[in-house]
Structure 1
């Protein structure tokens, strides 16, 4: 209770009355079957259209090898044509289904495609170069040593050598190298030509595997590249003093040793260190500063310095050193982007050096080794990380590409390549091996080329058995087969299309009976005659399932031929469509079947005489009617209990029970007294009134449609003492008009006169 301890105004929220019950959804389906690819672990995956199914689970399946096909197709007790599953999924969406949870079935012997990388230094050609060219633009210069390094140029299609040369000069920012000899043949980016430094090593660094088992993984390719994740400026050493900028006061001849410049702030020989560097045009020189006179002073360049002629007015700017003495540290702008063990590459113009970061404090970065050479405030260092690219194209031509940037080869962080791919990739997983190094010169590469193609994935359809469809219960998120549908509470209709195995369909029925919130659509064996389907039906007696006969006929886009397919996928879609358009109380019958051949879309012609035999036994016929098309012509369950004879009645009660169950959870642990009972009665009555007004219940008034009792007549003192609240509900469902009878009497003239 609220406490009022001091004078003031108190605002309180109070319940306005009974809490409303929201009806649960009934149009969400769950299916279990074999797909070309897609997740085989975890909870069933939601797809909302057939394109999404194809992107996630692949396209249509070809028939398996004849031995596997015949083993399954010719087994009347435990067989099936499971390779038709994608066509059944298409039938679901063709007939109005909107939400489908799919659980992929794989053989216990299926394996994922995989591949392993060695290491080496490879860079792709980034721009075409003609025969005779001496300049190459590359994808990167990460790991290169600089001037004098030997490189080999390869063709990307057949791995033949085009040229071997030394690096005469380079521009790391432009990713360009100059060779000491001309190319004997053109290089092409479209061909995948590349540059390699040294030989590749077979020492294993990273292994990649497809995210799920199956031969589909043989079309997956992976590439990992070193990339400059950040380019950071070197800051000047504080001992260097202030900068200055001036200009030439007179022309300077080519290769002259002195230049005249105007005096400027900061250009004071007495305040400058002994070693001063300036930039004139694109070049950098160490100079000796003379004494000023008449507003000018002389800068003396080193003996033998080479430079072009310079004109009056050319800018001369001081460049301060980042390191004035040997050591392991530099001041870096944006140093917060770095981290311990980060790999960086330093460039002094003639040499590229790779170092590891040891520590970062403010803008001071300490490296794991000495900083070789002199670096200036115009220089930059590059943070080296990894980029992983994956690509996949399925037989239908649909492709998936992924790019993951800013990854690390080492360290226990979310950015680690193995951790990041496990969390984000829809195609592959990675495992670090003993040979993995963070040195860019030993970056993971395949044995040839730059893309690793995964191999040795196997569907192992020969090892597929009914147990794979039934599944095992390993707990939430670790269930397989039919059992995995338990993870999804929203599922209201479920099926295992194309599988008529008694073990599998019995497991599906048991699943529905145990959860008591869903309904199964079963498939018979294909090709059964009227006697055969009656024998098949004798397996079942359940109010939680329905059986449809015969199979349907559609066009297989994979072979462009007609093929017979199981009806359960199409019927699940019809259930969903009728639920959305009319409500769960409407029988899913007298409805056109979509997604089949316009003519002869039903595998066998069922006549009225046939149905006279089938209907009383709960076998729902699929029939063709001239002028009306191909329709569902039955709405019965497989129950011997006449109270649960109709599908819509059974599913209406599932809807009511689940809705009331979820909508009254607030009652638990409330005081079990008359006030609570009244709230429960009103809550349930309000919900049932809404259901009655939708046409789901019989009766001209609400009192005729239902009753709700929750009082002393439904509970004893023993019930109350044991914490039980008992609410008794009765409803009058609307039964379908299965037999429409018009009685016609012939009237004679005498009858009329009388």
Structure 2
């Protein structure tokens, strides 16, 4: 209570409104699996489109795991997820290094340490994977002469501190230009900032006398643009223009491609790292400009000198050096433990998804392609969903399973927070050249996108079934009515084709033996209610545990559930039939209150899907009344 110690007028802000509960999102999804590139540990990035996935994790091209070529199931699942209506997706990339692999195993590098001399710097892919075997073009640019005459003597225009310049000494023969570095100084007479040139590192006292501008005929700024192209069918070039050589420069090459970048965006979107053991930016500039150009192998520095002496600047191609990284590796085949990941920092696999509270759906697309690894990954997904409480695991059947075999797979699991889908989906292969080709994909990517689409268009209370699989051109097996009659009661959700209605999800059951949680929408709707109430009542913690607090909580929850009722998300013709909320002396004992416990009892009547629609038709006579 405020203190009033002196006479006066006091204005206080109070709230007369009831606190509200906001419904949480239910469509954010988390995938784990192998990819062509991208981070393998730490918090997965949030993706909102397939193009974002391509930029970070590479495209749809096949992987080579343990020396065996395999479809890139994760990438295809991400594409299916967004095409089916998904909006928000976290992806945790898995990578299993080869046995006894050295540090940075799987990373593409230049130069090849076994066959090439050490130039004092090296390029390497930021992340492991064959997609790191990128082509790098270093396009050097020589600016106009920045040396101009002024009343107090020559000045530099358009030059920044730590710029690298190609300067031609006064009266020297053509082609004798050398690299220098611009250093900002204060003129001892006028006190005005000016520049001088140095031929050593422009940090600290000069190792040799500095050079005044009147010693040169021309001074041109040298910059480099780095152009990257990773391998892949749909790979795009990335260009990083106008970079400088000295690490203290605001546009330093070593900052743009730092091994430990300052910005998270650099770690995700910049696939190249520049490592150097050279003492300073001066040495790095000399090493880079000594590289042979892309035309005839002439060192770039020689072409720059020619350009400084010749009024006709050579073409950009002549000032470009091209390098190729090699040695990238997609790693060994994954096992179930890789999907579980490690819980210690930096986290990997499913463990890395545990800190992301907004995820409601998890899957490991393609893990079941291996009949040996698949069942173990299913158990890992179920364990993760059970621990996290508010998530559901979308499980894939094993590729090639017959109906009897998928029944046996379902019989080995029992969870209210998992749903199993069968069979696999056939799509048109986007990587096919010329002749059309089909590709077999696990259903979890499609189904997760359908979950998200269903939540956005109808709501989480509606069963995510009788929904079109947009990308499907066929299914691995065409399930008929008799086969589904054997699979549906066991909790196997079938994907079926119907003449005139297309390819549809035709099941909405959990992989549970508990009839109370038989349906996917009921399980997910209760997760939505529980999570929303948990987040929306955090204000009550440490409040005085008495009737006023009980009444406030009861009204808050009742308002939230009443809104669900009027939105037709609950069963019953009136609110009393749809839900009840009690929070008073009848729901907690004195011992509960003495130990700081407030207990609120909530009952909700969910809507279950009309899984079996039955019409009873009989004959009647013309004069019958009813």
Query: Do these two structures clear the TM 0.5 threshold for a shared fold by scoring above it?
Result: yes
Matches within 5 A, 1:216-231: 216-223=131-138, 225=140, 231=146
User: Equivalent residue for 1:107?
Assistant: 96
Q: Does residue 1:396 correspond to 2:237, yes or no?
A: no
Change (3 A) 1:379 1:18: farther
Structure 2 CA distance, aligned partners of 1:321 and 1:414? 28
Q: Does residue 1:589 correspond to 2:428, yes or no?
A: no
Structure 1 CA distance, aligned partners of 2:392 and 2:213? 77
Q: Does residue 1:716 correspond to 2:589, yes or no?
A: yes
| Residues 603-639 of structure 1 deviation map (CA, whole Å, 9 limit, x = unaligned) | 2121221111111110111122222222211110011
Runs of at least 5 residues in structure 2 that lack an aligned partner in the other structure: 99-104, 187-191, 199-205, 294-320, 369-373
Find the partner of 2:603 among 725, 730, 735.
730
8 Å contact from structure 1 (residues 469, 481) kept in 2: yes
8 Å contact from structure 1 (residues 386, 409) kept in 2: no
User: Equivalent residue for 1:666?
Assistant: 539
8 Å contact from structure 1 (residues 593, 631) kept in 2: yes
Equivalent residue pairs, number? 557
User: Equivalent residue for 2:624?
Assistant: 752
User: Equivalent residue for 2:342?
Assistant: 472
Change (3 A) 1:577 1:488: same
Matches within 5 A, 1:274-285: none
8 Å contact from structure 2 (residues 146, 158) kept in 1: no
Structure 1 CA distance, aligned partners of 2:156 and 2:40? 48
Matches within 5 A, 1:338-487: 338=161, 347=168, 349-351=170-172, 352=177, 360-361=185-186, 362-363=192-193, 368=206, 369-370=208-209, 375=214, 386-411=223-248, 416-422=252-258, 423=261, 424=266, 426-434=270-278, 438-439=282-283, 442-445=286-289, 448-449=292-293, 450-460=321-331, 462-475=332-345, 478-487=346-355
Structure 2 CA distance, aligned partners of 1:7 and 1:532? 84
The structure with the larger Rg is 1
Structure 1 CA distance, aligned partners of 2:71 and 2:417? 23
Change (3 A) 1:37 1:353: closer
Structure 1 CA distance, aligned partners of 2:58 and 2:28? 21
Stretch of structure 1 that moved more, 691-700 or 444-453 = 444-453
Structure 1 CA distance, aligned partners of 2:53 and 2:450? 18
Structure 2 CA distance, aligned partners of 1:720 and 1:234? 86
Structure 1 CA distance, aligned partners of 2:400 and 2:213? 84
User: Equivalent residue for 2:310?
Assistant: none
Change (3 A) 1:737 1:437: closer
Change (3 A) 1:584 1:372: closer
Structure 2 CA distance, aligned partners of 1:332 and 1:753? 105
Runs of at least 5 residues in structure 1 that lack an aligned partner in the other structure: 70-80, 119-200, 237-319, 323-330
Structure 1 CA distance, aligned partners of 2:71 and 2:235? 23
User: Equivalent residue for 1:247?
Assistant: none
Change (3 A) 1:441 1:51: closer
Question: Per-residue deviation at 1:573?
Answer: 1.1
8 Å contact from structure 2 (residues 245, 281) kept in 1: no
Structure with the higher strand share, 1 or 2: 1
| Residues 211-241 of structure 1 deviation map (CA, whole Å, 9 limit, x = unaligned) | 21111121331527476699476765xxxxx
Structure 2 CA distance, aligned partners of 1:430 and 1:354? 21
Stretch of structure 1 that moved more, 38-47 or 689-698 = 38-47
Question: Per-residue deviation at 1:353?
Answer: 6.1
Question: Per-residue deviation at 1:52?
Answer: 3.0
Change (3 A) 1:643 1:734: same
Structure 2 CA distance, aligned partners of 1:104 and 1:432? 28
8 Å contact from structure 2 (residues 33, 364) kept in 1: yes
Counterpart secondary structure, 1:401: strand
CA RMSD, Structure 1 to Structure 2 (Å):
3.3
Counterpart secondary structure, 2:602: strand
Find the partner of 2:572 among 677, 699, 705.
699
TM norm structure 1: 0.68
Question: Per-residue deviation at 1:466?
Answer: 3.2
8 Å contact from structure 1 (residues 224, 445) kept in 2: no
User: Equivalent residue for 2:364?
Assistant: 496
Find the partner of 1:649 among 506, 522, 531.
522
Counterpart secondary structure, 1:350: coil
8 Å contact from structure 1 (residues 219, 453) kept in 2: yes
Structure with the higher helix share, 1 or 2: 2
Stretch of structure 1 that moved more, 717-726 or 635-644 = 717-726
Question: Per-residue deviation at 1:430?
Answer: 1.6
8 Å contact from structure 1 (residues 213, 458) kept in 2: yes
8 Å contact from structure 2 (residues 27, 88) kept in 1: yes
Structure 2 CA distance, aligned partners of 1:223 and 1:371? 30
Counterpart secondary structure, 1:487: coil
User: Equivalent residue for 2:317?
Assistant: none
| Residues 95-118 of structure 1 deviation map (CA, whole Å, 9 limit, x = unaligned) | 211222222222223511111499
| Residues 553-584 of structure 1 deviation map (CA, whole Å, 9 limit, x = unaligned) | 11112134112221111111111111111100
Q: Does residue 1:42 correspond to 2:42, yes or no?
A: yes
Structure 2 CA distance, aligned partners of 1:484 and 1:595? 30
Change (3 A) 1:630 1:202: closer
| Residues 240-286 of structure 1 deviation map (CA, whole Å, 9 limit, x = unaligned) | xxxxxxxxxxxxxxxxxxxxxxxxxxxxxxxxxxxxxxxxxxxxxxx
Counterpart secondary structure, 1:61: coil
Question: Per-residue deviation at 1:210?
Answer: 1.1
Stretch of structure 1 that moved more, 89-98 or 561-570 = 89-98
Structure 1 CA distance, aligned partners of 2:161 and 2:290? 29
TM norm structure 2: 0.80
Structure 2 CA distance, aligned partners of 1:650 and 1:6? 59
8 Å contact from structure 1 (residues 205, 436) kept in 2: no
